[in-house]
Structure 1
Amino acid sequence: MLSSILIFLAFGVLTGLTTVLFGFGGGFVIVPVVYALALASGSGQDAMLVAVATSTAVMIVNSLSASLAHWRSGRLRTDLLFPLAAYIGVGALGGALLATRVPDAVLHLLFIAYLAITIVDSLLRRGFISRSPGTVERRLGPVATSAGGLGIGAVASFLGVGGSIMTVPLLRRLGLPMATSAAMANPLSVPVSVVGAAVYALALPMGTGSLATGRLGYIDLLAMAGLLAGSLPTIAVAKRLVGRMPDRIHAIAFIALLVVVLASMLLIRPA
């Protein structure tokens, strides 16, 4: 028990750092950690879903905290938030409901597949790693906003990764600096986390995944508490780092972290 708490605290610190720098809300750090510990504890049947659900719940607090810090620093662009955030929230409902009906091994495989696709796409498609001087910002059209928002919400809640995995590359290719793209990913992760966590918390009948077992639905409350204890103080400190990292290095670091997470998920074998 103590060792698990210490692990959650340590990775909570990393979660807070990635939330501020990359807009992850913690998803890509939390899912592998909770998944591995759930498997080790014998919860193999629904270990991946517990990891996704717990990650989604943690993101509510982390994304709101980081969004407030970015708003105070003036990095949030409200003109780009709406109506994209509303469509993301609607898509998140469908994605979370679908995740509760997918076998755990399939969810694990899809998580790996999406990570790999995102890494390759970010490396090969122009506009992510390098932002040319004098780049003119573009806007999403109505169709791209609605379809893109629904897709982002569905995938993000289905995998428990917030919206950053899709919104950061999207905003980057619209011509935004990496620091702004990462900052915008936090408020865009809020509708994903709120809707997704509600679905995962209510997905099990009362008594099946009760508070007596340390869960609220599929959400692991002990893991959530430990991760937040480490992430929230880190977010308060790490917000000072935003904007100090060179744009190209910031983009490369985003991809590098995804590669590390992909490698860790490939090493973890489903039950």
Structure 2
Amino acid sequence: MWVFFAGLLATGAFAGLIAGLFGIGGGVVMVPALYYTLSALGYEDHAMHAAVGTSLTVIVSTSLRSVAAHAGRGAVDFDVLRRWTPWIVLGALTGSVIADLAPGEVLTALFGIVALLLSAQFFFGRPDWKLAQDMPGLPMSGVLGTLIGTLSSLMGIGGGVFGVTLMTLCGKPIHKAVGTAAGFGVAIGLPGAIGFMVAGMGELGRAPFSLGYVNMAAFAVLAIAAVFLAPVGARLAHALPEHRLRQAFAIGLVIVALNMLREAFFTG
């Protein structure tokens, strides 16, 4: 059992680092790590749902720490957060309902496919490519915000994967996009986690210390480790040149996407 907790500590530390670095809440690390860990311990029936639900719970703490670190450097657009948060919350709640009905393989495949598409834009796209000069207003902000919340909740990620992409295409500098997207994580993680707690109540075959689909033991270990590393990631993000940050973001997405697609189509 000590190996289990040591692995969770290492996963949480790395998740916190990339949460601050890319504004993505750390879910891209936590979801596969929790899935493999819970499956290895014999709780494979609900492993993917528990991984997503627990990841969303941890994302609340990592995102709060990350956005505070970025705000200290003036890299958070609070006007965007104010206007987009209600729609993102609506999407996160919708995603938790859909996830309860979807097989785990669907969730992993969806994440892998979308992440590959987004990574291509970040790696090959030119920094001056823009769809607009600023973030859209209503009704498009409502549609896109709800979609970001839904997809992020389904995948157990903090919204940075979609938020950073959207904001850079709408004229936001990469550092400002990363800092603001960290705030999306709170809007996605909190309602999403509550939704997964409620949806998993009464399900059989869950791991010990589970509240619905959220494993509270894993949450405690991951959150403690992740919170301390998020500010380190934020400092590293502001130390890197913009084009290097974009490339690192894309490479990280490719690695995670291929791993999730392998899990969805070639295992089990």
Which residue matches 1:96?
A: 96
- Cα RMSD over matched residues? 2.2
Which residue matches 1:265?
A: 260
Amino acid at match of 1:169: T
Distance 1:28 1:47 in 2: 15
1:112-261 aligned within 5 A: 112-123=112-123, 126-127=125-126, 130-131=127-128, 137-205=133-201, 208=204, 213-261=208-256
Q: Could you tell me the TM-score, scaled by structure 2's length?
A: 0.91
Aligned length: 265
Q: Structure 1's 131 and 17: CA in aligned 2 closer, same or farther, altered over 3 A?
A: farther
Q: In the alignment, is the contact (CA less than 8 A) between 2:58 and 2:223 conserved in 1?
A: yes
* Aligned-partner SS, 2:139: helix
Q: In the alignment, is the contact (CA less than 8 A) between 1:163 and 1:189 conserved in 2?
A: yes
Runs of 4 or more off by more than 4 Å in structure 1? 206-210
Aligned-pair CA distance for 1:119: 2.2
Q: Structure 1's 69 and 123: CA in aligned 2 closer, same or farther, altered over 3 A?
A: closer
Q: Could you tell me the TM-score, scaled by structure 1's length?
A: 0.90
* Aligned-partner SS, 1:83: helix
Q: In the alignment, is the contact (CA less than 8 A) between 1:75 and 1:180 conserved in 2?
A: yes
Aligned-pair CA distance for 1:120: 3.1
Aligned-pair CA distance for 1:236: 3.4
Q: In the alignment, is the contact (CA less than 8 A) between 1:18 and 1:24 conserved in 2?
A: yes
Aligned-pair CA distance for 1:111: 2.0
* Aligned-partner SS, 2:238: coil
Distance 2:128 2:17 in 1: 24
